[in-house]
Amino acid sequence: MSKTNIDFPDNLLWYKDAIIYELHIKAFRDGNGDGVGDFQGLLEKLDYLQELGVTAIWLLPFYPSPLRDDGYDIADYYTINKSYGDIEQFKILLDEAHRRNLKVITELVINHSSDQHPWFQRARRAPKGSPERDYYVWTDDPTQYKDVRIIFQDFEKSNWTWDNEAQQYYWHRFFHHQPDLNYGNPLVQDEVFRMIDYWCELGVDGFRLDAVPYLFEREGTNGENLPETHAFLKKLRKHVDDHFPGVVFLAEANMWPEDSASYFGNGDECHMNYHFPVMPRLFMSLQMEDRYPITDIFDQTPAIPANCQWAIFLRNHDELTLEMVTDEERDYMYKTYAKDPKAKINLGIRHRLAPLLGNNRKKIELMNSLLFSLPGTPVIYYGDEIGMGDNVYLGDRDGVRTPMQWSPDRNAGFSTANPHKLYLPTILDPEYHYESVNVETQRQNTSSLFWFMKRMITLRKKHKAFGRGDLNFLPVENPKVLAFTRTYADETLLFVINLSKFSQPAHIELTGFSGYVPVEAFSQNSFPIVSENETYFFTLAPHDYQWFVLEKKHTDVIPAFQLPTINVALWGRF
Ligand code: NOJ
């Protein structure tokens, strides 16, 4: 799994053992009753996050913004969107989160800004070729960089848009209202260092680097993963290591495993990186009832430096992206998981976890068991811990960004505002209605999904092998069964997963573990000892997942207990 074995101070590697919870301030809890979530609301709910057991929160963009891309269109990198609060509340949030041992990861959207950012307004008016104009990427010839793909295919026809004011075309990898910053301009690079300093000095623990493969452009290339981009990230990393050790970069690089892994550099670029290709393959394996998509993608994943870590996830605030699959695989995924054509968007599917899995509790548990046991730091998307539904009839990706469902009360306990005032409507679909799917109700029922998640999280925190162990797939004849071990130091965990909706037998070779006892991880029940030269037999219920700690049975002969002899001298009357 790891290339080197260098020792790093443990406190700097906090992200390896983390469990990250992703949320949008506006969607979590409205503290002032105006229909939009805010810092005040999040502060009220920090205890909930602590109770769930997560160790870090990733906050989606909270900056001033026209919100045409839900905040990924930033108009000011140094303040807070007024609807959510102010910088003083942000500082309180940091203190309160840290007091609860929760790390805070924020967004650094540095590939592009909003077209409303003063830099862009200044650029379009500045003379051609001036440093101010060159904060962004301009051309007179829109056939330039023609080998670069369009990401938001449902919305944009070209990566160039004409600007009347500037009388030139400007470059954008995403929406046309998100012009790309020009990293060829050293002044732009300086701006990014300034931003980092500002937020680090306030005390943030990490940054998610949005859309990081696209920073530089070069003719004749596809404009992704360029050496210039890697060189810039290494400079940024060095700066953070020198001045703010422990602050983490989490790269959003939606690429095939090789390219994705390149963002770790030699352990001198990004600390973490989402494993995008794993995610759709978990869903494929489940549907196909075959472990191959999972084992294959891990086989294609290169070893990474010892101080680096993948982040793995089932769902997030975007569509379930199908960019990193083949055309056939994409067709298969659409056919299976996008039953309503409205669910398709760009190259993906806009559904939350529960609706993707037909609200099947066994499948939801199984997918979470994979999320928590495969290598990497798990990232949970807010609301998925209670099985929230979605609304594909809302625009863009809004259907998976509706208010968090806290209780069966008005507006799902998210806000006291008039329901018409909410930033997005709550989920009213009878199957996922907030009157039944909500935190309050699930908290009271220890059989709920919320409690299941809590238990998995608690267990994960007990064993370092989850965050740091290697990965070793075990040979099993039955392809519907996935079995693997994770070993770290002297601890080995064993996972056996039935991807089928029917019961399955599994003979598993536990080579090297004869004399070990599989102890079921949740109950502590001991299973029969592993004997030499024999495969171990498991009977698995439909969509079953079984987790074990492999404990070495002591074979040394313990001498029979003997009562100590006490020599008492008898004095006196006798
Ligand atoms: C990736 C983000 O996850 C997505 O929500 C956003 O639209 C694009 N980057 C553009 O910033």
Q: What is the pLDDT along the chain (574 residues), one digit of tens a residue?
A: 444 445 678 889 999 999 999 999 999 999 999 999 999 999 999 999 999 999 999 999 999 999 999 999 999 999 999 999 999 999 999 999 999 999 999 999 999 999 999 999 999 999 999 999 999 999 999 999 999 999 999 999 999 999 999 999 999 999 999 999 999 999 999 999 999 999 999 999 999 999 999 999 999 999 999 999 999 999 999 999 999 999 999 999 999 999 999 999 999 999 999 999 999 999 999 999 999 999 999 999 999 999 999 999 999 999 999 998 999 999 999 999 999 999 999 999 999 999 999 999 999 999 999 999 999 999 999 999 999 999 999 999 999 999 999 999 999 999 999 999 999 999 999 999 999 999 999 999 999 999 999 999 999 999 999 999 999 999 999 999 999 999 999 999 999 999 999 999 999 999 999 999 999 999 999 999 999 988 999 999 999 999 999 999 876 555 555 556 665 554 444 3
Secondary structure class of 276 (helix, strand, coil): coil
- Atom 6 of ligand 1, residue of closest alpha carbon: 72
Mutate to test the pocket of ligand 1, among 73, 173, 210, 252 (most ligand atoms within 8 A of CB): 210
Ranges of each domain in the chain = 10-111+186-460, 118-171, 470-552
How far, in Å, from the CA of 118 to the mean position of ligand 1?
A: 21
Residue 383 near residue 434 (C-beta atoms within 8 A): no
CA distances, 202 to each of 82, 89, 199 (Å): 18, 12, 5
276 touches ligand 1 (CB under 6 Å): no
Q: Which of 70, 210, 319, 385 is catalytic?
A: 210
For 290, counting Cβ atoms within 10 Å of its Cβ (0-12 exposed, 13-18 middle, 19+ buried), the class is middle
Residue 112 near residue 99 (C-beta atoms within 8 A): no
pTM for the predicted model, two decimal places: 0.95
545 touches ligand 1 (CB under 6 Å): no
Tokens of residue 512, six digits: 């090297």
Within 13 Å, how many C-alpha atoms sit on residue 107's CB side?
27
pLDDT in tens, 510-528: 999 999 999 999 999 999 9
pLDDT of residue 7: 64
Burial of 369-380, coded b for 16+ CB within 10 Å and e otherwise, reads bbbbbbbbbbbb
d(CA 246, CA 207): 11
Domain 10-111+186-460 has CATH 3.20.20.70: no
DSSP 291: S
Ligand 1 atom at shortest distance from the alpha carbon of 112: 11
d(CA 481, CA 291): 7
pLDDT of residue 8: 77
User: For the chain, how far is it from start to end, CA to CA, in angstroms?
Assistant: 76
Say which CATH topology domain 118-171 has.
Answer: Oligo-1,6-glucosidase; domain 2 (3.90.400)
Tokens of residue 485, six digits: 């071990």
69 touches ligand 1 (CB under 6 Å): yes
pLDDT of residue 451: 98
Residue 482 near residue 500 (C-beta atoms within 8 A): no
Residue 55 near residue 113 (C-beta atoms within 8 A): no
Secondary structure class of 192 (helix, strand, coil): helix
CA angle 556, 561, 565 (to 5 degrees): 140
Burial of 479-505, coded b for 16+ CB within 10 Å and e otherwise, reads bbbbbbbbbbeebbbbbbbbbbeeebe
How far, in Å, from the CA of 40 to the mean position of ligand 1?
A: 25
Q: Which of 30, 70, 156, 252 is catalytic?
A: 252
- Atom 5 of ligand 1, residue of closest alpha carbon: 318
pLDDT of residue 9: 82
Count CB-CB contacts under 10 A for residue 162. 12
72 touches ligand 1 (CB under 6 Å): yes
Tokens of residue 350, six digits: 């806009």
Ramachandran area for residue 374 (φ above 0: left; ψ -120 to 50: alpha; else beta)? beta
pLDDT of residue 563: 59
74 touches ligand 1 (CB under 6 Å): no
Count CB-CB contacts under 10 A for residue 509. 15
pLDDT of residue 571: 45
**C-alpha closest to that of 474 among 541, 548, 369, 528:** 548
Mutate to test the pocket of ligand 1, among 26, 174, 350 (most ligand atoms within 8 A of CB): 174
d(CA 53, CA 18): 10
210 touches ligand 1 (CB under 6 Å): yes
Say which CATH topology domain 470-552 has.
Answer: Immunoglobulin-like (2.60.40)
The reply to whether 252 belongs to the active site is yes
How far, in Å, from the CA of 224 to the mean position of ligand 1?
A: 16
318 touches ligand 1 (CB under 6 Å): yes
How far, in Å, from the CA of 565 to the mean position of ligand 1?
A: 76
How far, in Å, from the CA of 359 to the mean position of ligand 1?
A: 27
How far, in Å, from the CA of 209 to the mean position of ligand 1?
A: 10
Residue 269 near residue 230 (C-beta atoms within 8 A): yes
Size of the chain, expressed as the number of residues it contains: 574
